[in-house]
Amino acid sequence: MIEIRNVTRSYGAFKALDEANLSINEGEFFSLLGPSGCGKTTLLRMIAGFDNPTTGSIAVDDQPMAGIPANRRPTNMVFQSYAIFPHLNVEQNVGYGLKRLKLEAGEERRRVEEALAQVSLTGLGKRGATELSGGQRQRVALARALVMRPKVLLLDEPLSALDKKLREQMQVELRRLQQAVGITFVLVTHDQYEALAMSDRIAVMFGGRIAQVASPKEIYQRPVNRQVADFLGGMNFVRGEIIEENGASLTLDTLGFGRVSTEKPTAFVRNGGAATLGIRPERLRVLWDDETSQFQVTGTVVERHYFGEITHLVVEIPGLEKPLSVTETNDFGADDIPVGSAVRLAYDPEALVAMAD
């Protein structure tokens, strides 16, 4: 559906995008995930046709896009800065693209109403563009693109100004829409949960380069390197010495976790005799007094952070350079474990993954 081949975009000497390669399939929900300034918007703008690659090519539906202006591309975009037309009211903004299609008056109204309902803005149709709150603007921008039912919908952080509840509702709505109409979605987001929850596949970018393209689970569980691992949520890193390496498996000796056997990543690059192992904080669980586990480490709680649903503990383990982060749901009072107390942490050895630095 969308083929991005060796696309580079330079601003002077600075490369906002560096040799990017991607193929996005028809009907796929694809996300671009990466830290601020990594080139997400830049890439999206080139797909939409507002900017041109310095080198490289972009094709949509097997058709090279070079030279095709934005209005003749089968894409619609939700702008990060919203780009609401200030001289039009909400309804007119949303109906903007429909006007050109010369629908029956009733039909146009109906579709505008529907789009406004989808973004929970029913009743605000007559509001002026300058009389909206930040989140309302963003939703108008979203409705304006949704109403067009394009082949490819490009969304540049379309939900960043919305509260969690509304965002979740919109996420569901977007997924529903995508599956119902079969639109290809390219979502730019800085919210890893959003990307993980919604996407079929995710591309993780850093500093203009694409680091990994994979399914949410794959990316979360088997990040190719520390950077990706780190970006997708906390990760505890453990250095290990490679003891044995055969076929698909790898055995290492670690200080904190002892001897560990793990699956060898496809693109594993040996870096001397040592390797990095990662384990997510939520894959560690505090054992209660009466519980035991075959795989466990013991340490001392040094910090505790309360986050409503969950609590983060920082646990110092003798032998490990850095203390481990542990996430616990607050089901049985993890938020009451006193700082300074000793805890035992259980883990699943499968959760320990080897990766590049």
Ligand X SMILES: Nc1ncnc2c1ncn2[C@@H]1O[C@H](COP(=O)(O)OP(=O)(O)OP(=O)(O)O)[C@@H](O)[C@H]1O
Amino acid at 333: G
The residue among 238, 268, 214 whose CA lies nearest residue 352 is: 238
8 A C-beta contact, residue 288 and residue 345:
no
Q: Residues 27-66: x/- map of binding to Mg ion (CB under 5 A)? A: --------------x-------------------------
Residue 269 contacts which entry, another protein, its own copies, Mg ion, none (Cβ below 5-8 A, type-dependent)? none
Three-state DSSP class for residue 131? helix
Residues 162 to 191 in contact with its own copies, rule: CB under 8 A = 162-166, 190-191
345: enclosing H helix or E strand: strand 342-347
Which single residue is written with the structure tokens 């883990």? 347
Please tell me whether residue 11 binds another protein under the rule CB under 8 A: yes
Enumerate residues 135-154 that contact its own copies by CB under 8 A. Answer: 135-136, 138-139
Residue 54 binds: one of ligand X, Mg ion, its own copies, none (C-beta under 5 to 8 A by kind): none
- Using CB under 8 A as the binding rule, the residues of this chain from 81 to 140 that contact another protein are 81, 83, 85-88, 92, 96-97, 99-101, 128, 130-131
Structure tokens at 36: 């601020």
Among the residues of the chain, which ranges form H helices? 40-48, 90-99, 105-118, 134-146, 164-181, 192-198, 216-221, 226-231
Q: Check residue 323 for interaction with its own copies (CB under 8 A).
A: no
Site for its own copies in 195-224 (CB under 8 A): 196-197, 216-217, 220
Query: What's the one-letter identity of residue 91?
Result: E
Distance, in Å, from the CA atom of 143 to the CA atom of 55, rounded to the nearest integer, reads 33
- Distance, in Å, from the CA atom of 280 to the CA atom of 65, rounded to the nearest integer, reads 41
Query: Based on CB atoms, which residue is closest to another protein, 75 or 118?
Result: 75
Range 185-244, binding ligand X (CB under 6 A): 190
Amino acid letter for position 36: S
246's contact among Mg ion, its own copies, another protein, none, with CB below 5 to 8 A by partner kind, is none
Q: Roughly how many angstroms between the first and final C-alpha of the chain, as a whole number?
A: 33
Q: Which residue has the tokens 């900017």?
A: 51
Report the partner that residue 81 touches, choosing among Mg ion, ligand X, its own copies, none (CB closer than 5 to 8 A by kind). its own copies
Cβ at position 70, least distance to another protein in Å: 4
Interface with ligand X (CB under 6 A), residue from 7, 38, 116, 232: 38
> Of these partners, Mg ion, ligand X, its own copies, none, which one is at the site of residue 282 (CB under 5 to 8 Å by kind)?
its own copies
Cα of 136 vs its chain's centroid, Å = 23
Task: Look at residue 91 and give the partner it binds from another protein, Mg ion, its own copies, none, a contact being a CB closer than 5 to 8 Å depending on partner kind.
Answer: none
Relative orientation angle of helices 134-146 and 164-181, to the nearest 10 degrees: 0
Q: How far apart are CA 355 and CA 353, in angstroms?
A: 6
Residues lying near its own copies in the complex (CB under 8 A) are found at 11, 33-37, 40-41, 80-81, 131-136, 138-139, 156-157, 160-166, 190-193, 196-197, 216-217, 220, 230-233, 280-285, 305-310, 327-333, 346-348
Which residues make up the interface to ligand X (CB under 6 A)? Answer: 11, 14, 16, 34, 36-42, 80, 131-136, 161, 190
